[in-house]
Amino acid sequence: MSGLDPVAGTALLTAALRDRESRRPDRLFDDPLAGLLAGEAGRAQAEAFGEQPAIAVRTRYFDERLARITGAGDGPRQLVLPAAGMDTRAHRLPFPAGSTCYEADRPELLELKNSLLAQAPAATCRRVTVPADLAADWPAALAAAGFSPEEPTCWLVEGLTQYLQEPDVLRLFDRIAELSAPGSHLLTDFVSASLLADPASRPMLDGMAARGAAWHYGTDDPRPLLTERGWEVELTDFAEFGRSLGRWPDEPRPGGHLVHAFR
């Protein structure tokens, strides 16, 4: 899988599913670079993964929120993506002039991504890659890349927390809180604890574990995790938002939350 470990390799799966969505006549967003970044390895994963609406739904949610947050006249001009993976928002969203997008991820993944993007159209903002392992001192790497904790920031932590153990989730959000000046925003998502315990989810969860990318963390109420760290929180139910887009099954089943926090 292009030399990536299984968890990093899920970035290729995400890109492939975004490419699949972009090819639909009723697409929720357009990601013209997703297919290039997914490659054959990502497409093979997507074929095995089947039809899953979650990535398309959360991508649409975060696109809308980012446009609202950064489009405001006094909105943050720093955007940070921990575990950026194959995200292409720096190329496809119209960020305001003077915006910088810091993409932090493992060095080998960013090296692959940058090589694939070498012939792509220019980014719509200043794009800065930050080679760093989130288990290590990534705030120092972010600071060395030019990030300023004194300025408001918009954080996007997408599709990450389920792969982490609870202590690592808490540590991640502790660090983000420490680096967030007044006026900052945080966008993230959580799968529900009930999804992890639901027998109907077992085939999917077993499949992810077999790929070496097991899911560990879920919560049915992420609000305390963030309010205790100084954030005001707006929760959106994953399934309800998905149904509003016509992309979620009508039958009740556990999902999770899409989160917009601010201070």
Residues of the chain with pLDDT under 50: 1
Task: Enumerate domains of the chain plus CATH numbers.
Answer: 53-262 (3.40.50.150)
pLDDT in the model for residue 1: 45
pLDDT in the model for residue 24: 97
Which residue is it, tokens 């609202």? 68
- What's the 3-state SS for the chain? CCCCCHHHHHHHHHHHHHHHHHCCCCCCCCCCCHHHHHHHHHHHHHHHHCCCCHHHHHHHHHHHHHHHHHHCCCCCCEEEEECCCCCCHHHHCCCCCCCEEEEEECHHHHHHHHHHHHHCCCCCCEEEEEECCCCCCHHHHHHHCCCCCCCCEEEEECCCHHHCCHHHHHHHHHHHHHCCCCCCEEEEEEECHHHHHCHHHHHHHHHHHHCCCCCCCCCCCCHHHHHCCCCEEEEEEHHHHHHHCCCCCCCCCCCEEEEEEEC
Judge whether 180 and 153 are in contact, CB under 8 Å. yes
CA distances (Å), origin 127, targets 88, 98, 102, 146? 10, 11, 6, 11
Q: How many CA atoms lie within 13 A of 232 on its CB side?
A: 5
The DSSP bridge partners found for residue 232 are 262
pLDDT in the model for residue 2: 56
Judge whether 55 and 129 are in contact, CB under 8 Å. no
